[in-house]
Structure 1
Amino acid sequence: MNAKIMTRLAVFAVAGSVLAGCATQQGTNTAVGTGVGAGTGAALGAIFGGGKGAAIGAGVGAAVGGVTGYNWEAIRNRMTGATKGTGTQITEQPDGSLKLNIPSSVTFDTSSYAIKPSFAPVLDQLVQTMQQNPEIVASVVGHTDSTGSAQYNQTLSVNRAQSVTGYLAQHGVAPQRLSATGMGPTQPIADNNTEAGRAANRRVEIYLRATAQHAPQ
């Protein structure tokens, strides 16, 4: 086996040991996630691209890995206070993100994408939270029930998601930290044959994720 391949395999082995070591400790914020991501990225980069590839891989891996192990407790507490009584569900996801599921009774009137007054305090708290935590980015996903045409609902869901990101941007969150997606009626969480089910399906989901680029050290 030639020296170059041996070197690349050695790098991969070192990265593997980094992964194993990180797996034995409970990290806070982005420390564990960044280390794991960087180690894996460096290994793959070295195998496929030599030394330069290792450096690039480490950078990409760190950005991805920054999600893992983030401590959401303070942010969850702030958002829980702002959403109290709204029916909003706040849950940590398997990928390390924090999901806010905000029901239609709070967000938008029927067939409208104008933000309701009851939604503004939630978004104002989110603006403040994101300004205080520059490592956080937000992905907004709009959903509808199945009433009406698929095309109409798809457009409505996109407009609603964009209304949310527009509000956040207008109140001080950098646009590059925001993304908006509309799913229309394609991801129901309840039975569209009942009014209660349709109400549950008309929702806005906001996913908060931590990135390693701006994470506190």
Structure 2
Amino acid sequence: MQQYTSSNSRKWVRAILLSSITAMVATGCTTVNPYTREDQTAKSTSGALIGAVAGAAIGVASSSKSDRGKGALIGAASGAALGGGIGYYMDVQETKLRQQLESTGISVTRNGDQIVLNMPNAITFGVDQSNLSKQAMDALHNVALVVNEYDKTQLNIYGFTDSTGSESYNLRLSQVRASEVSNYLVRSGVAAKRVLAKGMGEAHPIASNANEQGRSQNRRVEIVLSPTAS
């Protein structure tokens, strides 16, 4: 009994590894994104490989002893397609956002399958104000153009302040600013169910609050785009 179990375990492991390598090779064959003409292999391969391993594990767990090798192969193939697809989807969206937001003052960074748009307060709101500037509205209009095209993403909008003033006041101000950005995106055609606004106050500074340069960096709104499940 022990020999049977060990032998089959090795087969499942080989199936998982084989499926993972196959996913990597298959994804790596397409090195140029047909929409952006940029090399997207690294990100999409990573997503496919992670999906393959996870799918293979699920396939093994949900199959009978006699079918676990087959289950691993099927699960790995499905996982690779899903993982690679999400990475590719976010790759193209990221590139289009970079194009639309060039020279706006809004930075675009990638964190795994998330895209983070950092809107510094210098281009969004006046000091102690909650009305969006014309520059911010123009930039958000461009954001809406892209995210309306790629509707399989959730937009989490976070408002941040520096530590000047009371903590409760800063929390309220950050919520109002996040809501202003959210409302403008909805008015620009983004489905309200895709948008969540939250004020973070003076929490999570990205620079020192001991000087004005640092405080100006902490006063910001971040839009975090994450892939949805469907």
Paired residues for 1:1-217 under 5 Å: 1=2, 10=11, 13-23=14-24, 25=28, 26=31, 28=33, 32=45, 35-50=48-63, 66-68=85-87, 70-71=91-92, 72-80=94-102, 84=103, 86-93=104-111, 95-210=112-227, 213=230
More displaced stretch, 29-38 vs 119-128 = 29-38
**10 and 108 in structure 1: CA distance in 2 versus 1, 3 angstrom threshold:** farther
More displaced stretch, 167-176 vs 23-32 = 23-32
- Per-residue CA distance 1:49-84 (angstroms, 9 max, x = gap): 448x9899988886666543524323311221xxx2
User: Once the two structures are aligned, what percentage of the paired residues are identical?
Assistant: 28
SS at 1:119's partner residue? helix
User: Does the aligned pair in 2 maintain the 1:157–1:182 contact within 8 Å?
Assistant: yes
5+ long unaligned stretches in structure 1: none
TM-score computed with the length of structure 1 as normaliser: 0.73
More displaced stretch, 135-144 vs 119-128 = 135-144
SS at 2:190's partner residue? coil
User: Does the aligned pair in 1 maintain the 2:114–2:227 contact within 8 Å?
Assistant: yes
Aligned residues: 207
User: Does the aligned pair in 1 maintain the 2:55–2:77 contact within 8 Å?
Assistant: yes
- Per-residue CA distance 1:85-141 (angstroms, 9 max, x = gap): x43222333x14332211112112333333222211011111111122233432222
- Per-residue CA distance 1:3-56 (angstroms, 9 max, x = gap): 8997787556434333334446257478546633542332232344448x9899
**176 and 31 in structure 1: CA distance in 2 versus 1, 3 angstrom threshold:** farther
More displaced stretch, 70-79 vs 187-196 = 70-79
TM-score computed with the length of structure 2 as normaliser: 0.69
CA distance in structure 2 between the aligned counterparts of 1:181 and 1:62, rounded to whole angstroms: 33
More displaced stretch, 4-13 vs 117-126 = 4-13
More displaced stretch, 20-29 vs 193-202 = 20-29
- Per-residue CA distance 1:167-213 (angstroms, 9 max, x = gap): 21222112333233332212212221212221111011122344574
User: Does the aligned pair in 1 maintain the 2:174–2:200 contact within 8 Å?
Assistant: yes
Larger Rg: 2
CA distance in structure 1 between the aligned counterparts of 2:13 and 2:32, rounded to whole angstroms: 23
5+ long unaligned stretches in structure 2: 34-39, 65-70
User: Does the aligned pair in 1 maintain the 2:48–2:83 contact within 8 Å?
Assistant: no
CA distance in structure 1 between the aligned counterparts of 2:77 and 2:32, rounded to whole angstroms: 19
- Name the structure, 1 or 2, with higher relative contact order (CA <8 Å, separation 6+): 1
SS at 1:112's partner residue? coil
